[in-house]
Structure 1
Amino acid sequence: MSPGNGQSHTFLGRLPLPERKAVADALRTETVGGMLLLVAAAAALVWANTPLKASYGAVRDAHFGIPAWELDLSVAHWTSDGLLTLFFFVAGAELKRELVSGDLRSPATAALPVVAAVCGMAVPALVYGVTATSGGGSWNGWAVPMATDIAFALGILAVINTHLPSALRAFLLTLAVVDDVGAILVIAAFFTSSLNVAALAGAGLGLGLFYWLHQRKRIHGWYWYLPLAVTVWALAYIGGVHATVAGVAMGLMLRAGHSPLPEKGTLEHIVHVARPLSAGLAAPLFALFALFAAGVSVSAESLRSVLDGPEPLGVAVGLTAGKTLGIFCGTYLAVRFTRARLNPALAWADVFALSVLAGIGFTVSLLLGELAFPDPAQTQSVKAAVLLGSLTSALLATLLLRLRNARYRALYEQETLDLPPNEAPQNA
């Protein structure tokens, strides 16, 4: 009880409506997840490199679930196989929106981010293969440097961005949607275990029912879809396909509206309502995945294993050099040989800085590393390589973006000085 105003306050209780609305609006920003991931990754590295690292391993490897349904998983597996499904559901929904009403609606506008994203996946895989095989290694980890961690990239861009063109962030978002879906297709096609045909058939029937209820019958109640989504996810996992496929499939099945305002039951409405839940609940839990996945021992020995091992070195070089070359050259080739055009607000220096930023492959790359290298000793070296490559890309991109931001700030200040006082812009 608060004696000052006579109102009682419950600890961690339900916030008043204005505060709930403010929190929900804040959580709808895409950069919140990136900030949480940064905090979780830092906590993981500290936890895994202190005398408490034994408790870290105990929490990570603790099992719970339903053994009779083959769902008795460790905490790490629940996060990587379960929580990432929600992440890819949002990615699938965003891709559907881009295909229907966004930048991917027409071939001319879709060519640039699509070509950039495809090249940004193919070139790192090729760079990995050349680096690893030249040192006597294998092609096993070719997929690890392909993925860009959009949440981390947006988090860094949000910290730096004060005068950068808004088109830079839009380009990153569109590219990342294609990149995310490409990553899940790679997981589905190349990293599946032995298939359970009956379970996969059940998952397919569940997806068909999802489509029929949502697209045909226009049923809006979440209580229909939540149990169905969990069932489809479980059947996909039991079937031997990485269960995140179910998330992106359901996201692509959402019905897009045609009104500027979100219509109830449409993709826009669902994303609008789910965004606070995704950023306020799923993103922290997704950050928990980063917490468990990033917990590698940082030492001279782990860094040496990256430089001495052909596969880890291929991963690190693929993220830093491969991503930059793939996205930048892909963008240039698309502009040079197709009808795609670079946004007039962007310069090629901006695209290069963004290409370096895309070398942050943290979360999904760690997942792909575990799938590609099941041996625990090799997994640790590959994780260290992902962290080293991602950190190098993040530092270089931060430097380049700060230089570009300073350039745009100087241009803004010059334009402000040149304008009459009554015509000067009020904000950046």
Structure 2
Amino acid sequence: MTGPGPRLFSRGSWPEASRVSEILRRETVGGMLLLVAAGAALVWANSPWAATYRALSELTVGPESLHLRLSLASWAADGLLAVFFFVVGTELKREFVAGDLRDPARAALPIAAAVGGMVVPAAIFIGVNVAAGDQDNLGGWAVPIATDIAFALAVLAVVSTHLPTALRTFLLTLAVVDDLLAITVIAFFYTDHLAVGPLALALLPGGLFALAVQRGSTRWWILLPLAVATWALVHASGIHATVAGVVLGFTVPVLGRHALAERFEHVLRPVSAVVAVPVFAFFAAGVTVGGVAGLVDALAHPVTLGVMAGLVLGKPLGVFITTFLLAKFSRARLDDDLAWRDVLGVALLAGIGFTVSLLIGELAFGYGTVTGADAKIGVLVGSVLAGVLAAVVLVSRNAAYRRIHRRETADEDGDGVPDVYEP
């Protein structure tokens, strides 16, 4: 695209770029641990000791009187992932208040791309299953809609590519909006029953938590019990408990005298990336394939095919086509350093749907079900395929990325701010 017009994927400011770089460094470590945990689970679940893996996953702990006697797998999905979604909530609020999403012009691209990246894979999943006459499984339409930023960054680390700052910022913002859409889908479409009483009661500790953080309180012995009480009551209401994490994250102030978002993220992001997500992956990814024959049978199932097609084709198509159409109708053009091949590579990275896709698969089909196992296989294989395709596209641009990286990190005057960000 040539001619005058606004620029897509502009570099942005140095404070924003440095903040994004710090977040992505931490998520990359978490992504590596996620891959190790998922790999260990797959090996164990397909070894002669598979029964011990299932027994560990199904081991129940917790107080029965509070309806919290859950399996370890459920504790990982409902409890630990609430920490992950709390971090997502604070990041979302930061983006809307002080980040790219506060500017409607800059927010339009990642929001539109995230919506496109949700609608197209969902439609493909539904189309595959309707064509196969397997309409009983249409409840899994949301499995391929999510993007796993940690897994995507792990792929980038493995192939040693330096995405330009603008693309890294877009990928992170896209994933943040994607998480918001995913948790909204979980809340509205995967709530089997709603108990209004516990949900109303959750407003009390949740409101006290919001009041405390708005006043600048960081006393863990106040905030932690309030957060846990809110989580437990939301869990009892029938809404997936991770929703409580996002809502509480939204209450944390970003700006002003009592701004705590950055402090909370600094403390909890490592817990989320190093503990919560890898442990969830360990319990969620351990599907017993049943050898080559079992894998072949699973890959032929409409649920598996729908999830794989949604992630590998639908997600990239949704992100890429939406971005292209937005550029066409707004008469925008790519930044001079970038090509549409770069956008395709990032769109393929968005097809890595690991963590939230596994969670939605369990909610849609149930833990330990045959169809749920097919959905997991679709998520695992689809995410790996999307990662491989993204790596092929991005590695082909490594020489250009190295040139951009040198320019974006050059600091001739030694003032700590790369020269490209200075007027």
TM-score over 0.5 (shorter chain): yes
Whole-angstrom distance in 2 between the partners of 1:265 and 1:412: 32
1:171 corresponds to which residue?
170
Which residue, 267, 270, 275 being the options, matches 2:261?
A: 267
Q: Deviations over 1:353-404 (max 9, x none)?
A: 1111111111211111111112711111111111111111111111111112
Unaligned runs of 5+ in 2: 1-21, 408-417
Which one of 337, 346, 354 corresponds to residue 362 of structure 1? 354
Residue-pair matches, total: 385
Alpha-carbon distance in 1 for matches of 2:26, 2:150: 11
Q: Where does 1:11-160 land on structure 2 (aligned, <5 Å)?
A: 29-138=26-135, 139-160=138-159
Q: What is the CA deviation profile of residues 182-235 of structure 1, one whole-angstrom value per residue up to 9, with x for unaligned ones? A: 1111100010121111100011222222222222x3333222111000000000
Q: Secondary structure at the match of 2:253?
A: coil
Task: Answer whether contact 2:78 2:241 (CA < 8 A) is retained.
Answer: yes
Q: How much has 1:312 moved relative to structure 2?
A: 1.8
Matched, 1:408 2:406: no
Q: TM-score, normalised by structure 1?
A: 0.84
Q: 1:363 to 1:38 in 2, by over 3 A?
A: same
What do residues 272-304 of structure 1 show as CA deviations (whole Å, max 9, x unaligned)? 23334434xxx3232111111111123323332
CA RMSD of aligned residues (A): 2.4
Q: Shift of the alpha carbon at 1:26?
A: 10
Residue aligning to 1:194: 193
Compared CA separation, residues 363 and 27, structure 1 to 2 (3 A): closer
Instruction: State the one-letter code of the partner of 1:194.
Output: H
Change (3 A) 1:331 1:251: same
Task: Rate the CA distance shift 1:413–1:377 in 2: closer, same or farther, 3 A.
Answer: closer
Q: Which of residues 277, 284, 293 in structure 2 aligns to 1:293?
A: 284
Checking the alignment, whether the CA contact within 8 Å between 2:27 and 2:149 is kept in structure 1 is no
Could you tell me how far apart the structure 2 residues matched to 1:412 and 1:78 are? Answer: 42
When normalised by structure 2's length, the TM-score is: 0.85
AA of the residue aligned to 2:237: G
Partner residue in 2 for 1:317: 309
Question: What is the DSSP-based 3-state SS (H/G/I as helix, E as strand, rest coil) of the residue aligned with 2:255?
Answer: coil
1:54 deviation in Å? 1.2
Which amino acid in structure 2 is aligned with residue 114 of structure 1? I
- In the alignment, what sits opposite 2:253? 255
CA gap of 1:413–1:96, structure 2 versus 1, over 3 A, is closer
How far apart are the structure 1 equivalents of 2:100 and 2:404? Answer: 28
- Structure 1 residue 341 displacement after superposition: 6.1
Conservation of the 8 A alpha-carbon contact between 1:220 and 1:264: no
CA contact (8 A) 2:361 2:372 kept: yes
Kept in 1, the 8 Å contact 2:143–2:357? The answer is yes
**What SS is found at the alignment partner of 1:29?**
helix
CA distance in 2, matches of 1:251, 1:338: 34
Could you say what secondary structure the match of 2:140 adopts? coil
SS at structure 1 position matched to 2:396: helix
Look at both structures and tell me which one has the larger radius of gyration over its CA atoms.
1
Instruction: For residue 104 of structure 1, give the secondary structure of its aligned residue in structure 2.
Output: helix
3-state SS of the aligned residue for 1:71?
coil
The Cα of 1:36 is off from its aligned counterpart by: 0.5
Contact 2:117 2:317 in 1 (8 A): yes
1:161 is displaced (CA, Å) by 4.1
**What residue is the counterpart of 1:390 in the other structure?**
383
Q: Distance in 1 between matches of 2:80 and 2:221?
A: 19
Amino acid at match of 1:172: L
In structure 1, runs of 5+ residues without a counterpart are: 1-24, 415-424
